Amino acid sequence: MMAGCLGGGGNGGDNGGGGDPADMPDVFMLTDYNNEPWQAQWDNLSSSFTEETDIGMNIEYSGMSGDQENRLATLIQSGNPPDINTSTFDQVADVWSTDGLTTTNEVVEAAESVNGDLIASPLTQGEDIWQVPHGYYTSTFNYREDVYEELGLSVPTSFQGLIDNARAIDNSNIDIRGYGLAGQKTGKSQDEFQSYLGQMGVSTIGLRWKDPDARNELEIWWPEDKITTLLEFFNQLSEYSPDPTSLGWSSSISNYLGGQFAQQYHLNAWPGGVAAASDIPEIAYNTGIAPLPYWEEGGASQGDSWLFDPTVDGHHIFAGGDNTPGAREWLEYVYGDSLERTASIYQAEPTRFLPIYEDIITSDTFTGFDFWQQGENQKLLEQLQYTQETIIGDHYGQVPESDLNDPVALYVTRQWFYGELINRVVTGTDSVQEAYEWGRDRLETRLEEGRNRFR
């Protein structure tokens, strides 16, 4: 969608601006860090930044994954790209592949110097870093502990156990559905498909190294038995879910907070944190988190997972923006000036992201947030720590060859057809077999496109 719309500057010189900061255009930042606490925080930070540097800020708030890309494409096509975009890297992979981003090495080095080393890595090619990371997302299984207790359920460790729980909840006298399955064509459904595929011992994007030692060429790995089993699994879950086509990232939180379903795939301790901030204690303090279940019937267990790294989220600097130098200065001001300032910016959504710099989560600033002292919110801090120490520590990076750090793999990931597989099956557009074949066709096409672009 965005390919070819930006050019030049891929290795990032100082584009735009220059000279007296007062003569620079405002730094234009498009961000999905956009709730009321974030907006108040950005207002305070941008005011102090402008007062200190004379560089103005223009911050536009966008929707989340699945919506933000449309706004970004519109800006690019109109000749008004932002200086900064906030997202996971795959959301701007097309821009990067056409040299539309600039490197961020100096900003990241400044951030690490005050906040500690990175826990997870943004996209790095050679010596070049292409993102100023803010935090990272870990795939977690969220469930209602009170519902589990009432029905005598145990946390599922297998796909079948998850389906059994969903059926038991859905057939109970409790007014709640068994599972919230994301079935919109983009966004959460993409992540849900890929994360569960990894738990089957299969590459999350259907590609693998032809030679795991050389790691210089990717091939398709789209095993029919595994893919069709996974699609049938989602089809079964849809029987116990509200309309899957109504569920994406935002609605999966709002509907969960409304008590519509008792289990779901999500990220970190995000839903419980939003419930606490929204003063819904019956949801906030009854949300448990656990590792995603594994496909144990076929032999895939903890040591087989192809989940390699948590997903890094942060800020990208556009080579075609009007004030690239100002964008660098702004991000260094926010992340590379002091640990206290960096830690404080997690206060807006403290459970959405895990801080990516190792000294943040144990810092006095972070652990001293008023949020953790309210109600039973200390439980949410403990869940974040559990996610980092146990879910990532024990359930990620188990298979070394699952590290597909390659531009072609990134290009294929960005094509947004994985989530549509779920949509096609749960809406009856395709049979499971038809969806498998449709997905393989898309995978073959996208892999060839990626090879032509980067080889």
The predicted pLDDT at position 123 comes to 78
Residue 45 sits at the vertex; the CA angle it makes with 43 and 48, to the nearest 5 degrees, is: 105
Pick left, alpha or beta for residue 301 (phi over 0 → left; psi -120 to 50 → alpha; otherwise beta).
beta
How far is it between the farthest Cα atoms of the chain? Answer: 69
Pairing relation of β-strands 57-61 and 27-31? parallel
The pLDDT score that the predictor gives to residue 2 is 32
Q: Are 256 and 239 a contacting pair, CB within 8 Å?
A: no
Cα 134 to Cα 112: distance, rounded to the nearest angstrom? 11
CA-CA distance, 251 to 272, in Å (whole number)? Answer: 14
Separation of alpha carbons 421 and 184, rounded Å: 10
289's enclosing H/E stretch is: strand 287-290
**pLDDT at site 64:** 65
Task: Return d(Cα 330, Cα 345) in angstroms, integer.
Answer: 14
Residue in 435, 173, 398 with CA at minimum distance from that of residue 306? 398
Closest to 190 (Cα-Cα) out of 137, 257, 260: 137
pLDDT at 66: 58
Taking a C-beta distance cutoff of 8 angstroms, is the pair 64, 249 a contact?
Answer: yes
The residue behind tokens 């860090």 is 33
pLDDT of residue 68: 75
CA distances from 88 to 92, 135, 285 (A): 8, 10, 29
Tokens coding 249 = 């990232």
63: its two tokens: 């929707």
Q: Mark the ranges of the chain whose per-residue pLDDT is less than 50.
A: 1-17
Strand partners, 357: 118
Q: Which residues contact 427 (CB under 8 A, 6 or more apart)?
A: 183, 245
Instruction: Identify residue 213 by its one-letter amino acid code.
Output: D
Instruction: Quickly list H helices, 78-133.
Output: 93-97, 105-115
Q: Which of 74, 308, 97, 136 is nearest to 212 (CA)?
A: 308
Which H or E run includes 86?
strand 84-88
CB-CB contact of 233 with 196 (8 Å) = yes
Q: What pLDDT score was predicted for residue 411?
A: 83
